[in-house]
Chain A
C-alpha cells in the first residue's frame, strides 16, 4: 500500500470516537447485541492496527452480513420499517470498520457517518438532540481532518480546532440553505415508526381491559393563547368523540359511518369574542386535532366533523401547528336530528342489566333529563367511588361490575359508565376523549399539555340546551380537574411511577422546575421556528419581504445570497493566504511616494524609505523638510519598537503630506 493511502493512526482514533458518538443516541432503541458488535469490531480493528490479526476474508464477511441480518430479523421480526432499517444500517456501519484498510474506505465510513447522524432526527427533533448532533458532526469532521495529517503524528486535538473553524465557516451557508433552499416534498416516505408505542389518546376506549394505566411525561402539544389563559378547570381539549359502543369498546364514527346528509356539522350560532390560540402538536400518526369546545379553524387542510371536533384528513406524521378560534359558550346542536339521536342513544342489547335498571329507576325519580345527570353525579360523589390508575380488571358486563362491585377506576371508567347510564335512561350522551388541563409555563405563557393529561369525559344532550359537557371524574376526584393528575394521585404514589428521572417528578424543587420550564419555552421556540419551518412558512417569509415569487426570482435569490455569504469568507481566506496586506500606514506612505512621483522623483521598488528620502532631498531640496518628517514618522511607526499608535502615525503623515500640494 502506498503511504498516501494509509490511514494515519490518530485518524483511526478520531474515527472510532466519532462512531461511538454516532451510536450513543441510538443505544436506547437498539438491541444490546448491536453494542457488542461495535465493541468487537473496534477491538478487531485495533488488533489489525497492531498487526496481530488480519482483515476478515470475503467468506467471513458474508457470514457476518448474514448474521447481522438474521439478528435484526430476530430482534424486530422484520427487516423493513424505520427501526429495523436504522438498526441494520448501524450494524453494517460497525462492520465497515473491518473493511477500513485504505484512505478511501475511511472517506466512505465518515461520509456515511454524516448520514447516520441524520437518522437520529427520524426519531426525535429535540433541541438537545440537535446540539448533540452538532457535536457529532464536529467530531466526524475532525476525523476527516485527521485523515489528512501525517502518518506518524501523535494524537492531538488540532483536528478538532480545525474542523470547528470549518464548521463555523459553513454556518452562514447553512442559514442560507435553511431559509432559502426550496423545501421539496419527500421523494420517498419513511415508514411509520411501528415500534414506537403510542401513548396518550387512542382511537378507541375499552375501560376494564386495562389494569394499570402508565402515563408518560412526553409533551402532547403546546398552546399559546392570544389573550388570557382560561382557568385550568375549563381546559378540556377535545380530540375524539366516541359515540359508538361495541363489545365494551367505545369508538368514534368514521367519515363513512355517518349518512351523507349528516356529514356536515350543524350551524353553530357564535357570539362574542372568541378565544384565539394556536396549537403546536407533536406527531401522533393520527388525524384528529385538539381544541377547546366549539372550535373553528380557517386553516387549509383542517376539517370539522359533525360532532364538532377538528381533524386533518392527512395523518400528523410531523409536528403540526394550527390556529383555532373557540367559543366555549356557544350552544351545540340545540336541535338533534333523528339519526343522531338514535346513534347517541344506542346501547348493545342485553348487556349490563343492572345498570339499565338503575338508570330507569333514577330517571323516574329525577323526573327530567337534567335531573338524571345530577342524580348520577351525586351517586358518584356520595357513594364510595375511588379514583385510581390501578383499577381491577373487569369481565363481562363491565359497567355493572364497575358500578356495583369494584368502584375503582379512572376517567375512562367513569365516562363510560356515565354515558351508559345516560343512554339507558334515554338521554343522548357520548364519550369525549382528549386532554384536560395543562401546565402554564410562566416563561413564555404557553400551556404545556403532557401525555399524562389525557382524559375522557362525557357530553349529554339536553332539550333546549344542546350538548353539555359533564365530567363524572370531577365528581369523584375534583382535584384531578382542579389541580391535575399529580394531586389526584398524591396518596397512591403512582404519578409517573415509570419514569423516575423525569424532571416533572421533581417539580417541587424550585430550581429544577424553573430550569424545566425555561427549557420548555426554548423548545417551544425551537419547535415553532426551526422544526416547524416548512415550505408554507418559507413561502410566506419570502413573500413578505420580496413580494410575488417566481421561479427565476427564487433561484436568483438563492444564488445571490449564497454568493453574499461566501464572498466575504472567500475574501477573508484569500487575505489569509496572501500573507500580509497593505496596512493603513503603508498606504499613507505609498500615497506620499505617489505625490513625489508626480513631481518627478519616483521610488524604485527596492528602495527603502531612508534611501528614497536622501534622493528626494537631493532632487527637491524645497521639500526636504516634509520628506524627512514623513520618513521619520513612517520609520518610527513601521520599523521601530515605538508604542505610538500606527493609526496616529498614518494621520500625521496624511497631515504632513498635505504640505506637498
Chain B
C-alpha cells in the first residue's frame, strides 16, 4: 500500500473544504495516526470546525461535537443514568463522548471540573460513571479548539493539561489566492463545498499504525533528538524544558511523519517538520525571552546542529 498516496488523497479531500491549509491538514492527520489528541487554537471563523468535521469524514469516523460553555457539567459529556420507571432500574444514557471523533469546541470556556473530566477520558481511553468503567470506542480522538482572545470568563488550560495534547495547531488566515478561490466557489455555486468522502478505512488506519511501529530510528537521529531536548533544558531562554513525555511525543510524530512520506526510516527533517506543532505548546519562555513558544521552537531548531554533536 502506498501510504503516501493514500495520505495525499485524504489531504486533498480535506483541502477541498479547507482551502490552502495543506500543511496543517497533514499535521492533523499525523496527529491522529499517532493516536494523539489535537488542540486547535485560533480565532473564531478560521475553519476549526470545518477541519475537524472533514477529518472525521475522511477517516470515516463517527463524529460528535460539544460546545463547551461555562455551565457545562461533566455528566453532559460523559453521560448520565436515568431511572426508568417501566423496568424499575437505572439506564445509562451515554454522553457525546462515546464517539470516535469528538470536537470539544472552545474547551477553555468551561470550568476546570468539566475540562478535567474530558482530559481524563482522553488520557485513559475510558470513562467511569457512577462506579462503572466504560471503554470508549476505538479509535478515539479529541479535537479541542481554543479561542486565544476574548479571555474574559474563560478558564485557560494550564501547561500540565496542554501537555496531554499531542499537537497544537494554528490555522491562521488563508492565503489570498485560497481565499479568492473560496469566494469564487461561493459566488458560482451559491453554497459551500460538499462534504468530503471517506478515503482511509479502519483497516488502512490500522496498517498505517503498524507501519509506524516498524519504522527504523537510527542512533544518529536519537542523538539529534536528545540534543534538541537537552537544549530546551539548558538554554537560558527556557523557563521549563521539554518533558520526557514531550520528547516521546516528538519521536512518535516524527516516525508517523516518515511513514506518511513512504519512508522506512526517520530523517532529521521529519523531526523538524513536526517540531513546532508538537513542542510549542509545551515550552514556557523564561522572563528574559521576549518571544512566545513558537519563537522558542524556531530558536532551538536553528541553534541545535543536526549532525555535529
Asked if A pairs with B, the answer is: yes
Nearest chain B CB to A101's CB is how many angstroms away? 38
Q: Is the CB of B292 closer than 8 A to any CB of chain A?
A: no
Name the CB-closest residue of A to B263: A640
When A581-B309, A586-B308 are in contact, do A610 and B267 touch as well, CB less than 8 Å? yes
Q: Is the CB of A66 closer than 8 A to any CB of chain B?
A: no
The CA-CA distance from A559 to B41 in the complex, in Å, is 66
What chain A residues lie within 8 Å of B179 (beta carbons)? none
Could you say which of A22-30, A126-134, A601-609 contacts chain B?
A601-609
Do the beta carbons of A640 and B264 come within 8 Å of each other?
A: yes
Do the beta carbons of A605 and B303 come within 8 Å of each other?
A: yes
The CA-CA distance from A605 to B221 in the complex, in Å, is 15
Name the CB-closest residue of A to B219: A580
What chain B residues lie within 8 Å of A609 (beta carbons)? 267-269, 306-307
The CA-CA distance from A608 to B265 in the complex, in Å, is 14
Interface centre among B264, B266, B303, B309 (most CB of A within 10 A): B309
The CA-CA distance from A606 to B305 in the complex, in Å, is 5
The CA-CA distance from A605 to B306 in the complex, in Å, is 6
Do the beta carbons of B220 and A606 come within 8 Å of each other?
A: no
Count contacts between A and B, CB distance < 8 Å. 66
Q: Is the CB of B210 closer than 8 A to any CB of chain A?
A: no
The CA-CA distance from A521 to B302 in the complex, in Å, is 68
Do the beta carbons of A635 and B309 come within 8 Å of each other?
A: no
Do the beta carbons of B304 and A608 come within 8 Å of each other?
A: no
Residues of B within 8 A of A (CB-CB), count:
23
Q: Is the CB of A639 closer than 8 A to any CB of chain B?
A: yes
Say which residue of B218, B303, B308 sits within 8 Å of A638 (CB atoms).
Answer: B218
Do the beta carbons of B304 and A605 come within 8 Å of each other?
A: yes
Do the beta carbons of B268 and A608 come within 8 Å of each other?
A: yes
What chain A residues lie within 8 Å of B308 (beta carbons)? 582, 586, 590, 605
Say which residue of A582, A589, A605, A639 sits within 8 Å of B265 (CB atoms).
Answer: A639
Do the beta carbons of A639 and B305 come within 8 Å of each other?
A: no
The CA-CA distance from A270 to B184 in the complex, in Å, is 128
Do the beta carbons of A638 and B220 come within 8 Å of each other?
A: yes
Name the CB-closest residue of B to A605: B305
Do the beta carbons of A610 and B306 come within 8 Å of each other?
A: no
Q: Is the CB of B272 closer than 8 A to any CB of chain A?
A: yes
What chain A residues lie within 8 Å of B269 (beta carbons)? 608-611
Name the CB-closest residue of B to A638: B220
What chain A residues lie within 8 Å of B223 (beta carbons)? 579-580
What chain A residues lie within 8 Å of B306 (beta carbons)? 605-609
Name the CB-closest residue of A to B218: A639
Nearest chain B CB to A198's CB is how many angstroms away? 67
| Chain A binding surface, main DSSP class | loop
The CA-CA distance from A241 to B304 in the complex, in Å, is 87
Contact with A along B200-226 (1 / 0, CB 8 A): 000000000000000010111101001
The CA-CA distance from A639 to B307 in the complex, in Å, is 11
What chain B residues lie within 8 Å of A586 (beta carbons)? 220, 307-308
Contact with A along B254-272 (1 / 0, CB 8 A): 0000000000111111001
Name the CB-closest residue of A to B305: A605
Nearest chain B CB to A644's CB is how many angstroms away? 13
Q: Is the CB of A230 closer than 8 A to any CB of chain B?
A: no
What chain B residues lie within 8 Å of A491 (beta carbons)? none
Name the CB-closest residue of B to A646: B220
Nearest chain B CB to A611's CB is how many angstroms away? 6
Contact with A along B112-146 (1 / 0, CB 8 A): 00000000000000000000000000000000000
Q: Is the CB of B301 closer than 8 A to any CB of chain A?
A: yes
Do the beta carbons of A590 and B221 come within 8 Å of each other?
A: no
Q: Which residues 263-309 of B have a CB within 8 angstroms of A?
A: 264-269, 272, 301-309
What chain B residues lie within 8 Å of A638 (beta carbons)? 218, 220
Nearest chain B CB to A499's CB is how many angstroms away? 61
What chain B residues lie within 8 Å of A578 (beta carbons)? 309
What chain A residues lie within 8 Å of B302 (beta carbons)? 604-606
The CA-CA distance from A521 to B152 in the complex, in Å, is 93
The CA-CA distance from A417 to B235 in the complex, in Å, is 97
What chain A residues lie within 8 Å of B307 (beta carbons)? 586, 589-590, 609
Interface centre among B266, B303, B306 (most CB of A within 10 A): B306
What chain A residues lie within 8 Å of B268 (beta carbons)? 608-610, 639
Nearest chain B CB to A4's CB is how many angstroms away? 25
Interface centre among B269, B305, B307 (most CB of A within 10 A): B307
The CA-CA distance from A607 to B308 in the complex, in Å, is 11
Say which residue of B221, B301, B309 sits within 8 Å of A639 (CB atoms).
Answer: B221
For the complex of A and B, the 8 pairs showing the least CB-CB separation, nearest first, are A641-B216, A608-B268, A605-B305, A640-B265, A608-B269, A606-B302, A639-B218, A606-B301
28 A-B interface contacts by CB (under 8 A): A578-B309, A579-B223, A579-B309, A580-B219, A580-B223, A581-B309, A582-B308, A589-B307, A605-B302, A605-B306, A605-B308, A606-B272, A606-B302, A606-B303, A606-B305, A606-B306, A607-B306, A609-B267, A610-B268, A638-B220, A639-B220, A639-B265, A639-B267, A639-B268, A640-B216, A640-B218, A641-B216, A641-B265
Other A-B pairs, 5, CB within 8 Å; known A608-B306, A639-B216? A579-B309, A580-B223, A604-B302, A609-B267, A610-B269
Interface residues of B (CB under 8 A from A): 216, 218-221, 223, 226, 264-269, 272, 301-309
